[in-house]
Amino acid sequence: MTSAALPSPRLRIACLITNSEIGGAQSHVAALLQAAPAGTEMILLAGGDGPLFGIAARAGAHVIRLARLDNALSPWRAVGALRELLQALKQARPDLIHVHSAKAGALGRIAGFLLGIPVVYTVHGFAFKPEAPLRQRTAARVAEWLLAPLAARVICVAEAERRLARSLPVAAERIAVIANGIPDTDQRANPQAPLRRIVMVARFAAPKRPDAVIRAFARANLHDCELVLAGDGPRRQAMEQLAQQLAPGRVRFPGNVADIAALLASAQVFVLASDHEGLPLSVLEAMRAGLAVIASNLPGIREQIEHDKHGLLVDHDDEPAFSAALERLCADAPLRGALGSAARLRWEQHYGLEQMIKATWSVYRDALAGTPRAARVPT
């Protein structure tokens, strides 16, 4: 007589991120939660009270709000957040923790080490890049150096981030490069249409530079065109005041926009200015829409966009050059169309959601099995 086979236990994956607000890292986490395969229980742990909790719940994930987890730099606040996280993880009992963002990445790696749970750490952008302020750069490098050995696997979203990761005490075979991916949509822009709208989608906080975009837009000789700065954050009020001073009545601040695809489809040009970046999702969204892109000339963005082929790369602190790039694109509808078509094709070839999900789950399997093998999606 043979006994019936017992059902396999469900795999439990915990995704930890500092804040539940809208942003690139949060969109990345949302995609992972929504694309989890059958037989997997996904758990979201995050601070704040943002829309990511609702997205996770609708995807069938178990949601845990961490009241003490935030971006504050207070060591005492961090200790309290770690205690709260440890208690939550003991109750959730995940098989693996996938951490995102700086503070959650630090606390999650410590918690995983203390509880004996493997941790996968996705680096959406190291904070010790040369472009970052010295104090922030130094603190970030020390923290990453101390915590690097605690991650079973490190996922970098760009080759530029992998090069930084190699300067840390982490074995090369534990580092994977998986480019960000986003799902397709049927909403497309018509960049060759008469220029009426330029859009930037970003949080109003460092390292984003909406001030540089406002200044370049105000300087450029553009008529019958509005600049839309979508997003929210601590610098929004200051940017509204700057826009009123430099380009009164010509800059809109709609806040967090639920349907980004529709907003981008209504535009003819997309811009993004940042002091440093990993592989920004907002640029991918613009590429998916078939928009011509003007973006800061940064290593991660250079992996997305080749200058004069998929968009224009600029030094956002060079106001005359940034304005000239805006004027060039705005005056040349065929160029906007050609760049937009090339950007869309590049997105189709390299930045779809399926590639990212498949590669990420391969890293999960390796971390759980303890097999040192790097996964990579071409960028």
Reduced 3-state DSSP string for 191-241: CCCCCCEEEEECCCCCCECHHHHHHHHHHCCCCCCEEEEECCCCCHHHHHH
Q: Is the pLDDT of residue 128 over 90?
A: no
Note whether 293 and 341 are within 8 A (CB).
no
Same domain? 106 vs 174 = yes
Model confidence band, residue 6 (pLDDT cutoffs 50, 70, 90): very low
**Which structural domain range is residue 82 located in?**
11-181+352-369
Same structural domain, 320 and 359: no
Regarding whether 33 and 127 lie in a shared domain, the answer is yes
Residues 240 and 138 in one domain: no
- Domain presence at residue 127: yes
Instruction: Please give the model's pTM, rounded to 2 decimal places.
Output: 0.84
Backbone torsions φ then ψ of 201, nearest 5 degrees: -120, 115
H or E segment to which residue 374 belongs: none
Q: Are 314 and 298 in contact (CB under 8 A)?
A: no
pLDDT tens readout for residues 363-375: 999 999 864 444 3
Q: Is residue 83, in this structure, part of any structural domain at all?
A: yes
User: What is the rounded distance in angstroms from the CA atom of residue 304 to the CA atom of residue 377?
Assistant: 13
Q: Kindly report the CATH number assigned to the domain that includes residue 231.
A: 3.40.50.2000
pLDDT on residue 347: 96
Domain count, the chain: 2
> Does 288 share its domain with 168?
no
Kindly state whether residue 190 falls inside one of the protein's structural domains: no
Shared-domain flag, residues 21 and 156: yes
The answer to whether residue 54 sits within a structural domain is yes
Q: Does a structural domain hold residue 192? A: no
On the question of pLDDT at 5 being above 60, the answer is no
Looking at the fold, whether 214 and 338 belong to one and the same domain comes out as: yes
In a domain, 2, yes or no: no
If asked whether residues 291 and 359 sit together in one domain, one would say no
- As a whole-number percent, the residues of the chain with pLDDT over 70 amount to 95
Do residues 218 and 361 both lie within one domain? no
Residues 176 and 285 in one domain: no
How many angstroms separate the CA atoms of 228 and 174, rounded? 41
Q: For residues 65 and 204, state if they share a domain.
A: no
Judge if 361 and 289 occupy the same domain.
Answer: no
Higher pLDDT, 223 or 227: 227
Residue 272: inside a domain, yes or no? yes
Domain-located, residue 312: yes
